[in-house]
Amino acid sequence: MDVRADDAPAELWLADWRRRIAELYAEVRRLAADDPPAAHAYWRAERERLFRGHPQSPLPPAERSTFRARHFRYQPAFRFEVRLEGGGPPAPGSSGGPPAPGSSGGPPAPGSSGGPPIELPNSGHEVLAFRRIGAVTLPFADRPRRLAVFWIEGYAGGLFLPFRDATNGRQTYGAGRYLLDGAKGADLGGDPARGALVLDFNFAYQPSCAFDPRWACPLAPPENGLDVAIRAGERLA
């Protein structure tokens, strides 16, 4: 990929970045229906291409041409289809309160779970509002564990699932990684009729702030900390 920013507004390049990420995940979902490892290989290659060549890459410009993505090997045991369970209270360690600036501030959409807006930890000073819409139980081999699932408040909305694990600060970003970020198109699919989501930790990735502190990223709350090392997905070391 070789594109030039020229004098085009940054907002147009950001829109293009989101468009390309959405297209990437649409192809990932298509491929994963029959061959998840092939979908993972495609995801790795396309993300590296975008990081190296797109003007909205999270990498500092000086690091783009030599960037090489690093990943754990694909492990089928880290791919799950799980059911979203009821909304419940705000995440422990998250602060409730009025909607943040830029959030919708209105009632939840018809048929949605209504919890109050909350704030998640953030790597910067930007305040974003989220709503905890439920939790999922992950059937790990030793014992099940749970993660909260959030909805990004505001006009665009979108599912959001950040998590921490025992690789943080060693092989992955110290503040955790993302599984889903619907506002950016990072969505692995599911079946709304059954209340199901596809969660594949092989597609876990670092937030933008892991590559450059100029980015402000929402981060996982305490309840989304896993007490195991998830050696799957994107890594830094």
pLDDT in tens, 200-219: 999 999 999 999 999 989 99
Instruction: Evaluate whether residue 38 is within a structural domain.
Output: no
Domain that holds residue 118: 70-235
Residue 95 pLDDT more than 70? Answer: no
Q: Cα(231)–Cα(91) distance, rounded to whole angstroms?
A: 25
Looking at residue 206, what is its pLDDT?
96
- State the total domains in the chain: 1
Residue 9 pLDDT more than 90? Answer: no
Q: How far is CA 38 from the centre of its chain?
A: 20
144-168 per-position pLDDT tens digit: 999 999 999 976 789 999 999 999 9
The Cα angle at residue 98 between residues 97 and 104, in degrees rounded to 5: 135
Rg (C-alpha) for the chain, rounded Å, is: 17
Q: Cα(63)–Cα(236) distance, rounded to whole angstroms?
A: 14
183-201 per-position pLDDT tens digit: 889 999 999 999 999 999 9
pLDDT band at 107 (very low <50, low <70, confident <90, very high): very low
Looking at residue 109, what is its pLDDT?
43
Look up the pTM and report it: 0.85
19-31 per-position pLDDT tens digit: 999 999 999 999 9
Asked whether the beta carbons of 118 and 127 are under 8 A apart, the reply is no
74-91 per-position pLDDT tens digit: 999 999 999 999 865 544
Count the Cβ atoms, other than its own, within 10 Å of residue 60: 12
Residue 94 pLDDT more than 50? Answer: no
Q: Which two tokens stand for residue 205?
A: 């990735």
